[in-house]
């Protein structure tokens, strides 16, 4: 069984913010693969379904913690414990990554939190060994601007890369379900190509 968790904040006021792109990604996966309805479970909203892979359908639970972003680990830890899953193999977390240029996508296994409090919360509950799907949102250029930036909504022009990225994450999901993270990353970037760039440099030039 696969547990796919998206990070974000609950409530309509946060729905279109950069910090909620993890929620947006798992919503698109649930839609694309015709998951059942989201129901209140594990301190979050959970939907059950399966994703087709080369080895056959992979039973999957999609989870959107409703604990607020910085406490996401409580919901994820509860779900993992309930299903007795090994996070290293069975947990994939989708979240926004300010240190990747807008539209870039990277899979990573294990490692530190890199200042992401949602990832830090999950690590405190289940350890650092889980699969991370990092969705690049770019950087505002200065550390003191980060908080306001991640809680601000995507501009209309940005949806030109947000929507293709979300669709690619869903369409390539069979590779994710099969545990082929490198192939999944490559396929997402093939379906939704985005320019490599220094996210901080781009922000400084934009503010110049």
- Residue 160, SS3? helix
Please tell me the distance from the alpha carbon of residue 22 to that of residue 162, in angstroms, as a whole number: 11
- Residue 91, SS3? strand
Please tell me the distance from the alpha carbon of residue 183 to that of residue 169, in angstroms, as a whole number: 12
User: Is 147 an annotated catalytic residue?
Assistant: no
**Among candidate residues 129, 4, 22, 132, the one with its CA nearest the CA of residue 60:** 4
From the centroid of its chain, how far is CA 85? 19
Catalytic hit among 19, 139, 147, 155 = 19
Residues known to be catalytic: 19
């Amino acid at each position: 069984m696969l547990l796919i968790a998206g990070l974000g904040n609950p409530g309509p006021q946060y729905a279109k913010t950069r910090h909620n792109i993890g929620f947006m990604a798992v919503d698109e996966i649930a839609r694309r693969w015709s998951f059942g309805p989201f129901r209140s479970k594990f301190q979050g909203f959970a939907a059950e379904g399966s994703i087709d892979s080369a080895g056959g359908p992979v039973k999957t639970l999609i989870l959107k913690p409703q604990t607020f972003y910085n406490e996401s680990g409580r919901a994820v830890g509860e779900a993992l414990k309930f299903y007795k899953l090994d996070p290293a193999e069975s947990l994939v977390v989708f979240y926004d990554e300010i240190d990747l240029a807008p539209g870039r996508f990277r899979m990573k296994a294990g490692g530190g939190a890199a200042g992401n409090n949602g990832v830090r919360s999950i690590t405190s509950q289940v350890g650092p060994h889980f699969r991370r799907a990092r969705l690049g949102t770019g950087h505002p250029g200065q550390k003191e601007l980060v908080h306001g930036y991640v809680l601000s909504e995507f501009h209309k022009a940005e949806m030109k890369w947000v929507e293709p990225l979300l669709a690619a994450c869903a369409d390539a999901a069979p590779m994710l379900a099969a545990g082929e993270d490198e192939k999944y990353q490559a396929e997402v970037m093939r379906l939704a190509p985005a320019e490599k760039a220094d996210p901080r440099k781009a922000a400084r030039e934009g503010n110049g």
